[in-house]
Chain A
Amino acid sequence: MAVTKAQKEQAAKFYETMSTIRHFEESIKHDSLAGEIPGFVHLYIGEEAIATGVCAALRKDDMIESTHRGHGHCIAKGADVNKMMAEIFGKKTGMCQGRGGSMHIADFSIGMLGANGVVGGGYNLATGAALANRMVLKNDKVSVVFFGDGASNRGTFHEAMNVASAWHLPVIFVNEMNCWASTTPYRTTCNTENISDRAYGYHVPGVIVDGQDVFAVYEAAKTAVERARKGEGPTFIEAKTYRIEGHYVGDPELYREREETQKIFHDTDPLKMFRIKAAKLKVMTAKECDAIDEKCAEKIKAAKKFAMESEYPDSSEYMKYVYVD
């Protein structure tokens, strides 16, 4: 079957989003290690295909709840990287005008309702947003909550899953199964190999997908979004991935072998996986991917320049935004 223009455009969009995230995170990593970025930063390197595939299935007015490892979700939902970078540098021109930083990045204009510094803090917020949209505001917007395997052991998971299922709410639970809860390997604290097994207990479809394959993630998300929009309720998507970086930038990673992580990255890097699959599907060539990488590198360089040249917020405004009135 001939490849359509739409398929090519979609593939290019997938790759551009993933490449933007990769370049963004590498720039952040460099600047954080150099001491130019204050505070904690948690990188999404190696997990790019998940946010990219899921958000590609969403509309601009759909809503997402993100995590402390949230830059990828924010970019994939369509946020401006200049404003994101400025926020991570704590500048006045940042998404949150320097009030939030990396762990609280948000862009309400595109339904990105915030990264959350509390692990497992997003389920109820996304489910509540879904409730409001469906039952109160009577629209067809869909919510997505991203969470890791560590967060799946929070009690909030149960409360939100149960009510989302009971009321058929349009919320999609996207589990980024990256095998690590900070320094603790997932299987040492949980006897459920596939977290999506739990979905069965809530009468929610549980889907396992290769989190390194953006095409597969997109297809799973698309099905879940259609189901949610039709009022058929939530879906649980478990995207198998791996946390390539330390828990935070600067993590000495005493709990694992760096060589093993490198090997996993070598074998499963979602950008590399994309190139292989795109060539097979004949939707993109390596040259086209290289051109996108170059463009993204420039975009992120410009974002850093924008952030560096921006001013810090005026100290006198520290009380602004505590209350509306």
Chain B
Amino acid sequence: MRKLTFAQATCEAMAETMEKDPTVFAMGEDLARQGGIFGQFKGLPDQFPGRILDTPISETFIIGGGVGAALAGARPVVDMHFADFIGVPMDEIFNQMAKARYMFGGQATVPLVLRAPDGMTFQGAAQHSQCVEAWFPHIPGIKVVAPSNPYDAKMVLKAAIESDDPVLYFENKILYKEKGELPEVADQVPYTIGKARVEREGTDVTIVSYSIGMKNARAAADLLAKDGIKAEVVDLITLSPWDKETVLNSVKKTHRLCVVHEAVKQSGFGAEISATVAEEAMEYLDAPILRYGAPFCPIPFAPTLEKMVRVYPEDLYKGIKGMF
């Protein structure tokens, strides 16, 4: 086993796919000279000259140009710098990227990956800290993934690049530096987009999360274990199409559900999970569903304010204790 950071793991995924397929290339702001502002493209520009492109600050081109490149037969990976900037090329995402295959009757394929670094970090304030993943599972035609650890970061990114459908890849800025174990390349298991993983088995409550929310899920499960409560922790990994079956099976076993994410709670992806469980497994529930996310507030700058919009493992611990 090797230890790599999340950022290094994504570089491995890029390198392996670029090695195999000459039509894979990447473009975005500050990728070639800087290696990505979070080091997530480090080394790739030297390894693949001319295939990691520094674009102008032109988000509609970065995404729209990526879609055009995909339509022409290339396999682009486009970088959004910060997920917060994704509103600029929104038309390119939901009207072009997502619709081309369907509205042209299957003539088009859009094998594109949009990488979007998200989440609170470095006191980034309102326009550099957001988690906006929940906007996108509402759009048919694109897939949405948000891995929580280095191994998944690599395997999910590989799957996204190899997919013939457009994939939005949300990568959390705090997770970039986190280290995790990766098997040797020969022992790595390919990821299938749409599959969740039961990361920790339990019998008393199901905690569902993804991306950095998994840190809360794991920490809360540890706290609960001290009290003899066995939490089952499900890492969703893919938000669209999401793995209902794994979540429903878990809830049917544990009879309790808690969902958590860093994004704003209102209309967050937790709402979709909760609604689905209420629709399809209500009779199995022994307690109302618990949902955690940020309050309905822009991300503030001052540390004393920013800490108020975060979710903490203790919140989950207290809430889940109240379910029994």
Contact = CB atoms under 8 A, between A and B. Distances in A.
A128 B105 contact: no
A100 B104 contact: yes
B65 A324 contact: no
Given A106-B107, A163-B61, A322 B25 contact: no
Given A136-B69, A324-B165, A325-B165, A124 B105 contact: no
Interface stretch (A89-97, A227-235, A240-248, A259-267): A89-97
A109 B105 CA distance: 13
Contact of B74 (A63, A116, A136): A136
Interface string A82-109: 0000000000001111111000101111
Interface in A270-325: 320-325
A201 to B, nearest CB: 14
A116 B104 CA distance: 11
A162 interface: yes
B97 to A, nearest CB: 10
A155 B65 contact: no
A108 B64 contact: no
B190 interface: no
Q: Is the interface of B mostly helix, strand, loop or mixed?
A: mixed
A126 B67 CA distance: 9
B104 A99 contact: yes
Contact of A114 (B72, B92, B108): B108
B23 A128 contact: no
Nearest to B58: A159
Contacts of B71: 108, 113-114, 125, 128-129
Nearest to A135: B50
Given A136-B74, A137-B73, A325-B164, A124 B60 contact: yes
Size range of the chain B interface in the assembly:
35 or more
B31 to A, nearest CB: 14
Contact of B141 (A96, A133, A166, A323): A323
B246 to A, nearest CB: 19
B58 A162 contact: yes
| B51, B55, B91, B103 interface centre (most CB from chain A within 10 Å) | B103
A166 B65 CA distance: 14
A132 interface: yes
| B73, B92, B105, B140 interface centre (most CB from chain A within 10 Å) | B105
B61 A107 contact: no
B61 to A, nearest CB: 4
A197 B119 CA distance: 43
7 contacts: A113-B68, A124-B67, A125-B68, A125-B96, A141-B72, A159-B64, A321-B102
Interface of B: 22-23, 25, 50-51, 53, 55-56, 58-61, 63-74, 76, 91-92, 95-96, 99-109, 140-141, 143, 163-165
In the A-B complex, the 10 residue pairs with the smallest Cβ-Cβ separation, listed nearest first, are A128-B68, A124-B64, A96-B105, A128-B65, A132-B69, A125-B68, A97-B105, A132-B74, A129-B72, A159-B58
